[in-house]
Amino acid sequence: MSARGPVLDRFRLLAAVLVVCIHTGPLAGCNAAADFWLCRVFARIAVPFFLMVSGYFLEKDQWRGAERFLKKTLAIYAAAVLLYLPLNLYGGGYHLPEWGKRLFLDGTLYHLWYFPAVLLGVLIARSLSRLGRRAALTAAAGLYLLGLGGDSYYGLVSQFSGPRAFYDATFLLFQHTRNGLFYIPLFLLLGAAGMRWRGRRALAGFLLSLGAMTAEGFILRSLGWQRHDSMYLTLPLCMVFLFSLLLDRNQGTDRRARRLSMLVYLLHPWFIALAGAGQRLPWLAGPLEKNSLLRFAAVLAASLASAWVLDALRPLPVPSRSRAWREIDLSALRHNAQALQALLPERCALMAVLKADAYGHGAPSSARCLWRAGVRDFAVACLSEGIALRKAGVRGTILILGYTPPELVPQLRRWHLTQAVADEDHGHALADQGLPLRVHLALDTGMHRLGIPAEDIAALTRLYARRELRIEGVFSHLCVSDNPELERYTTGQLDRFSAAVDRLRRQGLDPGKLHIQSSYGLLNLPPQPCAYVRAGIVLYGVSSGGGLPRRWPELHPVLSLRARVACVRTLRPGDRAGYGLAFQAERETRLAVLTIGYADGLPRALSQQGGRVLLRGVSCPMAGRMCMDQLLVDVTGVPEVRAGDVATLIGRDGDQEIPAEEVAERCGTITNELLSRLGKRACSYRIVEKKPELLFGPDARILPRGRKMA
């Protein structure tokens, strides 16, 4: 194998063809021994290959994508169950207990066993992977050897009463030991290990081990030991060499081959059934004789053609980088969370604030990333934001900081959300719904926004008396913690909060988990005796603006904003451009049109307040008035700029950077507003994972104060 290319993806198609061979027996009518070798020995590499590819890519993501993989597999399985429901009903179906067993353990049709097996096998393999590679492979190999006794070696082990009783009990649960418990984990973990030998050594190893597996298969066949023939003692060794051989030449991806192989796997039993029905017709009985080579060819051709048509008809996604997009660096977000967690006192946790779609960074993906960084508590602004996170599979505490109408208490309970009590009337109205509800009491310590007056202990006591309110925390908000000149006011807020908590405790009332510090409260104030710090804007690697906090750890900006160059025009001296002809060329000028405007969330005034973009690593000034969907940029100094080039409006391009703080300052606002208003219409997300040293340089730091604008 000398050529390089996406061989892993393209080999999937060959593996799917081998599965069709297994289910049609193309050589059975010609030579039984040849058919046995093709379908019961050589073709047994197909499913382990699928598993090893899955394990390889899951390990590349350190198994972080396992939940996404499981959800996708479950969705495909659900669709396949519905697809083959007519065949199940035509064949008489199953009684209810048998249907449940097949649905969850064995698959509702002979080829669908793969899906419940993979669902279970991934869970086991992921758990074993935490033991370390050697221990995980040892444990998985032990399960595989145990499964061998119920598969190819059943005739041997069944001669002993103890093992026979064990396997007979197993077969009450599983139809075969080829399942997620015994079979799947080993091949997933072998793929995850990604062992490699050089091409010739891998090829020699594969041929020798395939020869050994061939000998093993025929010996077992002659002895009559095989209850089934999916598992051979030499199969794992054969697969390790084969996968190494393919991996050594793999380069790039072929997503169409992936999709076609899955469709062929899913669809071919329908065409086997149709071929069987065709045998009843006199003129087809001969050509479609069971197990004939022609029958195999017809089934394979129909499966491939159907897969090709379905793939061609699938909806085509719009690329995230087609027009304008936010580039979200999850490695920077994870780094920032860890840097902020290092500042927290003992027994204090980070509560990540994800309101306004995580300040424009994408709340679901940010929450999942933060969960992997050890964050278990989140805060949002409203009920819809909390529900969106739950629908995205986000676990942990989700606190709604804003007002929720009392009549929506059933929704709060349905989605296991925690509600902030805005004032005493709000608390009683929530309790009047008659349903138990987890709440945090908001105290007004001087901001005079939401909250029960901190000194009104009688009101707090009355809320504690409401049994429907499960008060799990008390919090407040510091309104000037970002301004050192008003430190005395902040100290007063802290004192009022502490006094209220002390009075509650003296009355025997448990305030639960306390939190009052947000981003600037963490960075400007000494540690407080609280359970949480609510980190908002600084979690995303930027400051709100103004002065530098007293403490500023090394944080990395998470978001970059980019757009495309649509076209480039040349203006003569005196020519005007844009709405109101606001731009006039003083010399021969090249103007680039960018595919982004104020409808995407950019402040309209930016283009006339010294706004700039980076193109090919060079700073270029905006020109004229910003349009709803486009803006003009003077690229006279960068003659290489062409249509399709990527422009950076926030973020880094080469050695140059435009920080979000600069853009906000030019427009007289703060980064909180700038980032959270970036529109979803066409400004889509593109998730990336960059090593910080590659993006920012090994010694890079964010220095919001004192940074001069170009």
Secondary structure of residue 12 in the 3-state scheme: helix
Distances (CA, A) of 271 to 27, 83, 110, 276, 341: 18, 13, 14, 8, 58
Which residues are bridge partners to 658 per DSSP?
651
Q: List, run by run, the mean pLDDT of 10-residue segments along the chain (710 residues).
A: 78 96 90 94 96 92 84 95 89 75 89 95 94 95 96 94 92 90 96 86 95 97 94 96 92 92 96 79 56 85 96 83 90 96 95 96 94 95 97 94 98 97 98 98 96 97 97 97 92 97 97 96 94 96 81 92 96 96 96 96 94 97 96 96 96 95 94 90 66 33 33
> Same domain for 669 and 680?
yes
> Same domain for 311 and 209?
no
Which residues are bridge partners to 563 per DSSP?
324, 647
Catalytic position from the list 90, 579, 680, 691:
579
The rounded distance, in Å, linking the Cα atoms of 225 and 155 is: 4
The rounded distance, in Å, linking the Cα atoms of 428 and 409 is: 12
The pair phi, psi for residue 633, each rounded to 5°, is: -135, 135
Secondary structure of residue 113 in the 3-state scheme: helix
In the block, residue with structure tokens 């996170």: 389
* Residue 528 located in a structural domain: yes
In the block, residue with structure tokens 């086997």: 272
Helices (H), 61-160: 66-83, 85-90, 96-101, 114-129, 133-148, 154-157
C-beta of residue 531 within 8 angstroms of C-beta of residue 519: no
> Same domain for 269 and 126?
no
pTM for the full model?
A: 0.73
* Residue 10 located in a structural domain: yes
What pLDDT score was predicted for residue 60? Answer: 81
* Residue 328 located in a structural domain: no
Which CATH number is 614's domain given?
Answer: 2.40.37.10
Structural domain that includes position 369:
347-540
Sequential DSSP letters for 541-597: T---SSSPPS--------EEEEEEEEEEEEE-TT-EESGGG-EE-SSSEEEEEES--
> Same domain for 510 and 384?
yes
E strands of 468-558, at which residues?
469-475, 513-515, 532-535
Told to judge if 355 belongs to the known catalytic residues of this protein, a careful annotator would answer: yes
> Same domain for 353 and 494?
yes
Per DSSP bridges, beta strands 377-380 and 397-400 are: parallel
Q: What is the dihedral of CA 138, 143, 144, 147, to 10 degrees?
A: 160
In the block, residue with structure tokens 């050890």: 374
* Residue 330 located in a structural domain: no
> Same domain for 298 and 187?
no
The rounded distance, in Å, linking the Cα atoms of 689 and 333 is: 10
* Helix, strand, coil abundance in the chain, percent, nearest 5: 50, 15, 35
* Residue 136 located in a structural domain: yes
Catalytic position from the list 355, 513, 540, 598:
355
Residues constituting the chain:
710
* Residue 554 located in a structural domain: no
Which CATH number is 477's domain given?
Answer: 3.20.20.10
> Same domain for 201 and 272?
no
Query: Count of domains in the chain?
Result: 4
C-beta of residue 293 within 8 angstroms of C-beta of residue 39: no
Told to judge if 579 belongs to the known catalytic residues of this protein, a careful annotator would answer: yes
Residue 8's CB: how many other CB atoms inside 10 A?
A: 23
Q: Pick from 234, 253, 272: which residue ends a domain? A: 253
Sequential DSSP letters for 228-269: --S--TTHHHHHHHHHHHHHHHB-S--HHHHHHHHHHHHHHH
* Residue 553 located in a structural domain: no
> Same domain for 427 and 523?
yes
* Residue 334 located in a structural domain: no
> Same domain for 190 and 58?
yes
> Same domain for 398 and 510?
yes
Q: Pick from 491, 510, 540: which residue ends a domain? A: 540
> Same domain for 472 and 590?
no
Q: Pick from 226, 253, 280: which residue ends a domain? A: 253
For the chain, what is the radius of gyration of the CA atoms?
A: 32
> Same domain for 351 and 491?
yes
